[in-house]
Structure 1
């Protein structure tokens, strides 16, 4: 490792480095990862966190316990060799984010699918090989990257570089990798980032991932995005039901994926969550869930309806515990998984594995036979998996856009007219969302304009408007529109002749105006309001000119920065 010299970072205009504030050691690392953990199996203790890098990283005991259990496949999985998967768990209450000041900036610019939340992702590289020198007869260890960022494809690719080196060279390798990561520029969607790691250079943007094997080689690994899983590979065992699964995810229904391994479980859950993109899935989802999870009782109780959550499980115990759930997806060998007989079995035989969707749900939309035939034809013609994935992802995207466009159009109509914005009055309020008023718009401006699918679109919308996904989407749109109103109000203020206005003001009124304008300027900068270029400097100039009309003693007070 000491002979490997990672390429130095040479920031360019597109790399987002030059404008960064002064960074302390580990600030850059913390903007990508919270920490790296090594989880081993001890005969007396069971799973245990053996190493945490960097050493100063903080994890609560509850978080350590979650990482321990989630970093190992269930005993029935039989994962010999190397396997990769991911999990997700709640961040401890009261913890400050490891992303620090980068979090707000990142989240503001990120597309909805890459926004962070109050959860950590664990990206796992698990190795299990026979070893007669150990009492248990097996070497079992996981290298785990803990991050707030949902860059699934990127972090799995990063692990493929770090983990084999670690298993061969142990801790010095982790220290070197952490030092490399601490030299990376902070994440910035849309910008090209050069990321040296373990003698390899990665180039990453929000829309593609490029990993050059070495600086003098023409060989490259190109992955389509930093976060998307292969939809077709994940849905292949149940692709006759992809449209129904889209509806279930859209409506925030309780779903459980029962799979033979954590890799299949986590990929399928992530595929489900991403199938309604660009709409954000706003409920909880657990790519890999175990009986040791702190939310186990909460999610498996029979005293109330199952919550809006998607769980990925591998332990056969869940077949009994969750058999009352309304929608169950089974992937792989299901010999030992009993199913509630009241559910309708929708199943098929694929690659000798008995898989299916078990539900009594009746879809609102008629089945789209065309996409099924297109995918089946691709299988028969041995069309590359990447092409099948692209077809399926485009299908889901067009379906979601057809559904969301009428909502976008209606919500835009709730915005007050620009002429109603007065610089001397508070910005006007948005009109409230009226469900029946929206339903009436669907006859002339509904999804039938962009989608060939027939069915009960009205019923689907009514159900969606009661879902967490609608609530999350509308809250976000409402916030954006309120910020737009604030921006228009600021722009209207800048167009006014404030000097003329204050001639009619008393000294007290003028000071009050300055304080209010300074407050609006501070808030606008904090919220990154979508104002026209030059608006904020103009407002600052207006404030300065007004202050100059006041007596010197007041000028001195008003020029002082606000107390922290």
Structure 2
């Protein structure tokens, strides 16, 4: 049987089963919780890069998305990439497409840190590219990529998965890929806070997706028949030390550039270095979400190429990773360019990139360095740099070095954000102002100057010194502040809803309605229903028994009304 016929017949059986039994999950529903699709991209002598296979077969990608995916799935420098190469990319989804995960209140997105949420407007691509000499092919080379397309930014997990399945796929072809997809369709859902065992091709990958409530770790129940798992320490965290070892003395500058959403181009020797460097930069401001655009690997064929390289307007808030030397000329007008090369040593320490003037960025053989006129607001943390460099001399393991860097960046970001969060809390209406009979009071507006005045007494507990006020002023003009504030304001509005629900629950509603007109009572019923509907729709953190009490009170109030009004309200 043709593998596609087998695939479709299996899908028809599952679909029929799902209709007969509502508890049976829809075909590919578990698969699509992890992956959008799996693609095979090959090099066609007449067409160039072309999609050879897409699984599941009924996944709909637009022609624009297919074109972008094809170009992004081959390293720009693949003429010299013999062997296997892994890298990742991020591409914009076509306008007008609605993702099944588009609901803002998706339980996964609600429970996971913001930097690990599913993407609604972009796809992540995880690539395993193979190029080997092959006399049977007209060009003399076998060139093919296996690509996992997902809305999840799980770079470690999906690259580990590719390491398991890609080598075998290149030997066994389509039937093998079909089997893999059906195995993934049996995986448990990606639930934050749980330890998950993910079996594929005789290997079990054990992962834990972080949750917002970090203390709630639940072990999932798995069969004893499964082989011993391969434990991934993180689904997404990269080796920061490996990525940043040539720019250690500039970590403060890099952190500020990312925090402020500045336009940055990373020019790297390979697609692997490009994608890892960009993802490392984006993660440097964790737990703050990076709200600019970022492309771990970007090519001249990208649909946004013209948009991002126009000289008629200022560069956009984006971090681009590129490998083609052509980009040096294209991005001459950009304010911050990092030119990476092969790591060079100075004695037993990695040679550090120098800061260079943008005017020197002229020729295709431009030397490695950071081309920028940016002046940091805060001073370097010399103790951190000294500690990392000493660790290199002592041959401290890379994962330990990486953990030191990550902890430093995390603490710096948290200490920067903490005064802002504390100030937002002061804008919340007090609980005593909540009346069950009135619309809840408004959250007071965020006034930047008022916040800056609080810094003298309650500024960030930074070990670094410098122009802290200047850094906040610049941050206020960045997409990261705008995105952060929108998220926080939404959380605050939901908290106000919760406080108002608690006030309603504490009130004696039945006594209140005794001397009220029918119009007032119906109005109360409608408002209570609206409150309950909002609590359910937005999954507000309200105790279940509290909601049940309000629902019971609503039923009791309706039963006190004349029968004709009761009938109208029950129909709504």
Provide TM-score, normalisation by structure 1.
Answer: 0.89
Contact 1:427/1:489, CA 8 A, preserved across alignment: yes
Contact 2:112/2:210, CA 8 A, preserved across alignment: no
Superposed, which structure 2 residues align to 1:345-424 within 5 Å? 355-424=368-437
Superposed, which structure 2 residues align to 1:320-339 within 5 Å? 320-332=329-341
1:170 aligns with 2:173: yes
Matched with 1:503 is 514
**CA deviation digits over 1:73-109, x for unaligned, max 9?**
1136622111111100111122121447797121111
RMSD of Structure 2 on Structure 1 (CA): 2.5
| Structure 1 residue 474 displacement after superposition | 0.7
| Structure 1 residue 432 displacement after superposition | 0.8
2:489 to 469, 478, 486: 478
1:492 aligns with 2:503: yes
Partner of 1:73: helix, strand, or coil? coil
Matched with 2:269 is 260
**CA deviation digits over 1:40-59, x for unaligned, max 9?**
00011000001000101100
2:285 to 276, 280, 292: 276
| Structure 1 residue 223 displacement after superposition | 2.8
Supply the distance in 1 between the matched residues of 2:562 and 2:293 (Cα, whole angstroms): 58
Unaligned runs of 5+ in 2: 4-21, 212-216, 344-353
Supply the distance in 2 between the matched residues of 1:75 and 1:477 (Cα, whole angstroms): 43
Supply the distance in 2 between the matched residues of 1:466 and 1:77 (Cα, whole angstroms): 43
Supply the distance in 1 between the matched residues of 2:56 and 2:332 (Cα, whole angstroms): 42
Matched with 1:16 is none
* CA shift in 2, pair 1:168/1:287, >3 Å: same
Corresponding pairs, count:
529
Contact 1:237/1:356, CA 8 A, preserved across alignment: no
TM superposition outliers: structure 1 runs of 4+ over 3 Å: 98-103, 207-210, 214-218, 339-342
1:288 to 288, 297, 306: 297
Supply the distance in 2 between the matched residues of 1:439 and 1:215 (Cα, whole angstroms): 59
Contact 1:239/1:372, CA 8 A, preserved across alignment: yes
* CA shift in 2, pair 1:77/1:478, >3 Å: farther
**CA deviation digits over 1:494-513, x for unaligned, max 9?**
11111111112222322222
Matched with 1:343 is 358
1:152 to 137, 152, 155: 155
1:515 aligns with 2:526: yes
Partner of 1:237: helix, strand, or coil? coil
Give the stretch that moved more between structures: 265-274 or 235-244. 235-244
Contact 1:83/1:263, CA 8 A, preserved across alignment: yes
Matched with 1:59 is 61
Contact 1:76/1:315, CA 8 A, preserved across alignment: no
Supply the distance in 1 between the matched residues of 2:105 and 2:424 (Cα, whole angstroms): 28
| Structure 1 residue 226 displacement after superposition | 0.6
1:455 aligns with 2:466: yes
Supply the distance in 2 between the matched residues of 1:322 and 1:510 (Cα, whole angstroms): 65
| Structure 1 residue 354 displacement after superposition | 6.1
1:133 aligns with 2:146: no
Contact 1:416/1:429, CA 8 A, preserved across alignment: yes
Unaligned runs of 5+ in 1: 3-19, 347-352
| Structure 1 residue 341 displacement after superposition | 7.7
Supply the distance in 2 between the matched residues of 1:153 and 1:258 (Cα, whole angstroms): 22
Contact 2:292/2:318, CA 8 A, preserved across alignment: yes
Supply the distance in 2 between the matched residues of 1:474 and 1:259 (Cα, whole angstroms): 34
| Structure 1 residue 157 displacement after superposition | 0.8
* CA shift in 2, pair 1:485/1:345, >3 Å: farther
| Structure 1 residue 533 displacement after superposition | 4.4
Supply the distance in 2 between the matched residues of 1:187 and 1:333 (Cα, whole angstroms): 37
Supply the distance in 2 between the matched residues of 1:382 and 1:504 (Cα, whole angstroms): 80
Supply the distance in 2 between the matched residues of 1:116 and 1:79 (Cα, whole angstroms): 32
Contact 2:203/2:227, CA 8 A, preserved across alignment: no
